[in-house]
Structure 1
Amino acid sequence: MPAAIYVFSLCAFAFGLSEFVVAGLLTAIADDLDAPISLVGTAIAAYALGAAIGAPFITALVAHWRDRHILLLATALLGVGSLLMSASPNLAVLLAVRFVVGLGHGVFMAVASDAATRLVDPQRSGRALSVVWIGLTLALAIGVPLGTYLGSLWSWRVVFMAIGVLSVGGMLGLALCMPRGVAEVASTGAGAWKGIKAITHPQLLITAGIGALVSIATFSFFTFVSPYLQQVTAVGVQWLSMGMLLFGICAIAGNLLGGVLADAMDVDRSIRLALVALALNLLGLYGVASLPVPMMLLIGTLGICFFAIVTLLTLRLLRQAQRFIPAYSSVAAGLNIASFNLGTALGGALGGLTISYASLASIPLTGASAAVLAVMVLYLQMRRQGELESSVP
């Protein structure tokens, strides 16, 4: 693999840590800012909403720029934003800064995902994607548990200062390793408006919708994993850190599994099986909520399911883009990032509503319902696509 792809992974680690570490710091942030946990949980949603907007729309607006310049600017935004988050005096400021940093996150992951597939042979595109996305899974496996521990030991503000320092390293790596003008998409006559119109292709929107449902399913639970384990499963911070660690380690396995499956077998079949597994996993989290050890195992397998689906759906959407809108594959990648982050934001919101109108213990059922709906949408899309292909003489 080219060195630039590993630098993409490092930057993805920093972005992923910025987004997800809040899940392990909810209680610490709530206490420090004197805010209710249900509102602090929207810190993940605010970031994800920014990524959902930035990934397709801002990526479309800057599609004619060089990848190198876009990635450097996005990483610089992460560095400045992380320092501002560490100095936030109240929840409103924290949410506003996280939204802006989320914009950069969406653009970075969209452009880096697309660039990675163009820096390698087509036969290795799935594995190249998995290397980029493994940065996010490493953030969950190593960064979030470590950040949770440091947040409880010192301060949650120190965690965001460290992310700012890490982003500087990512910028240096991009400046040294990112090719200048190599593997850029030819975009003769391409403009921002055409890039935005490319987002509206029906097949791409349906696939993106499936990705949104997958994130809703996962993050309606994971956004509130800290209070869930502490209040429903009734375990301490050590168990919470272990759960975060297992989720992250298994997410690495899921990410790699998705890349291997994408290169080795039918992508649609793999996605269908993974979606069914996700639904069953969430039902299991509801069923064994009072048992710490089974809960830890199911939190781990949740990471496998989610990140395998992330890799598979990313490649599915990029292949659809290369077929329908080849000059705007980075915009399609942005649509994919947007769908997952919009789903993350909605998942957090639905989880909060479930807590308010039902109970904290019920949030895995909300996630399972979204996963079942994703299976149904994929089935209908595949059926419709098969009918269209069979009707072509």
Structure 2
Amino acid sequence: MEPAVITRHLLLLTAAIAVIGANSLALSPIAAAVAASFPGRSAADVMTAAAFYGLATAGSALLLAPMADRVGSERALVRALLVLCVSLGLAALSPALWLLVAAQALAGLPAGMALPAIYTLTAQVAEKGRESETLSFVLIGWTLSLVVGVGFAALLADLLHWRAVFSVLALAAAGLALGVSRCRDWGTRTGGEKPSSALMALRIPGIHAVLLNVGAFMTAFYGLYTYLGPHLGEVLQLPASFAGLTIAVYGLGFGVAAPLGRLVDRHGASAAACVTFAGLMLVYLGLMGAAMLPLVLLTLCLGWGVGNHLGLNLLMRQLAELDPTQRGAIMGLYSAITYLCVFAGALLYRPIFTHYGFAACAWASAMLVLPALGWALGQWRRKQAALE
């Protein structure tokens, strides 16, 4: 990819994902520190904010994201970043836990608008034949949110205060809104004058199977991720900085996988999907076995990041190629399901974590990858049959 292509547009999109991702992921490693500010509250109570953030993001992505097909994804992204700035400022000032939960729910509304807009803009500026490579570059934003954002958040919580985390993110969102608004030439939109709707997008052939896989895949990740911080902080009695390091290692694995998008473009997605989802199941089973071994957990998080990057790339590419004229609505459905899984993962995994521990959560995640693996094997077999 030529450097000129990634200088402005892709860097801004990558940074926007980094800020949104940092807010959605930072609460887990600092949950114990946040709970200490609210007497009588536990880290698991604090993660309720993550659940409601996910629910609000899902609703926003379902109802508001398709409007980007009419107003333009770049304008939708600017507006979303400005609202995100305000909501993060409110989170930093919250004097009670219920207000922090409300602020995070408010932050979910612009996040649900911004993420589909980012993915749509990525598809617009991608060169033909380099779609996975371009998407992999933008997905590095999740790496930045994990390695830099979450790691820095845990460090800030230890050295200063957890409120400093949301203050910094609010300022970053404001700066990005300014940057996106000043950037031009975002490519050609393929949609019509009227916005598509989620219900219309659900009629696209093949979309239901992919969305089912997205739901299982994301529940597996967010359910386990939500209780990684509480497991390390409350069960293993490790500091927030170690939880931040663990998540940073996951993010490093997520980033290391970015160049592999080029191999997917070259050799095809079906075979890559089989290897990716099978490998991810093994990683989850490894995390189950290493639940009480912090250093082994730290190492396995690297493979967790690699597997999740490739799996996310493959699922998103499949969705983006279904119907370019309804890409905003399709990506809205993707984000809606993703953040319903943030909500569902946080709530459904809580009794598993409370009664059976982190190892049981990891086993549940391994089982949830099975639908994606079955889908990938079916795609590969059909491709092989077509070649014969």
TM over 0.5: yes
1:21 to 23, 26, 29: 26
3-state DSSP of counterpart to 1:136: helix
Q: Is the 8 A contact 1:213 1:370 kept in 2?
A: yes
- Answer whether contact 1:48 1:102 (CA < 8 A) is retained: yes
Measured at CA, do residues 178 and 309 of structure 1 come closer, stay the same or move farther in structure 2, by a change above 3 Å? farther
Give the aligned partner of residue 371 of structure 1: 369
Change (3 A) 1:58 1:120: same
Instruction: Give, in whole Å, the separation in 2 of the partners of 1:104 and 1:115.
Output: 16
**Structure 1 runs (4+) greater than 4 angstroms displaced:** 231-234, 377-383
CA distance in 2, matches of 1:146, 1:29: 15
Q: Which residue of 2 aligns with 1:70?
A: 76
Where do 5+ consecutive residues of structure 1 fail to align?
none
What is the match of residue 117 of structure 1?
A: 123
Q: 1:375 to 1:232 in 2, by over 3 A?
A: farther
Work out whether residues 51 and 346 of structure 2, in 8 Å CA contact, stay in contact via their aligned partners in 1.
Answer: yes
1:349 to 332, 347, 350: 347
> What's 1:159 paired with?
165
In 2, are the aligned partners of 1:217 and 1:370 still within 8 Å (CA)?
Answer: yes
1:217 partnered with 2:215: no
1:173 aligns with 2:176: no
For 2:212 and 2:111, locate their aligned partners in 1 and report how far apart those are by CA, in whole Å.
20
Counterpart in 2 of 1:207?
Answer: 210
Question: 1:1-393 counterparts in 2 under 5 A?
Answer: 1-2=5-6, 3-34=8-39, 35-179=41-185, 182-188=187-193, 190-192=194-196, 194=197, 196-201=199-204, 203-257=206-260, 259-321=261-323, 326-379=324-377
Separation in 2, partners of 1:17, 1:328 = 28
What's the secondary structure of 2:94's corresponding residue? coil
C-alpha displacement at 1:238, in angstroms? Answer: 4.2
> Partners of 2:118 and 2:154 in 1: how far apart?
28
CA RMSD of aligned residues (A): 2.3
Letter in 2 for 1:303: G
- Structure 1 residue 298, shift from structure 2 partner: 0.6
Contact 2:288 2:358 in 1 (8 A): no
Shift of 1:341: 2.2
Identity of aligned residues (%): 22
Number of aligned residue pairs: 380
Helix, strand or coil: the match of 2:257?
helix
Residue aligned with 2:71, SS: coil
Over residues 240-293 of structure 1, what are the superposed CA-to-partner deviations in whole Å (9 max), with x where a residue is unaligned? 232122111111113443x22332222132222211111111110111222222
Cα distance, 1:146–1:105 mapped onto 2, change above 3 Å? same
CA separation in 2, counterparts of 1:309 and 1:352? 25
The structural deviation recorded for 1:377 is: 4.6
1:58 and 1:268 map into 2 onto residues whose CA distance is 32
CA distance 1:8–1:224, shift in 2 (3 Å): same
Report the CA distance shift for 1:36/1:235 in structure 2 as closer, same or farther (over 3 A).
closer
- Report if aligned partners of 2:227, 2:353 keep a CA contact under 8 Å in 1: no
Contact 1:49/1:102 (8 A) holds in 2: yes
Aligned-partner Cα distance in 2 for 1:32–1:238: 18
- AA in 1 matched with 2:64: I
Distance 1:359 1:29 in 2: 22
Alpha-carbon separation, structure 1, partners of 2:63 and 2:378 = 27
Normalised to the residue count of structure 2, the TM-score between the two structures is 0.90
Separation in structure 2 between the aligned mates of residue 67 and residue 280 of structure 1, nearest angstrom? 38
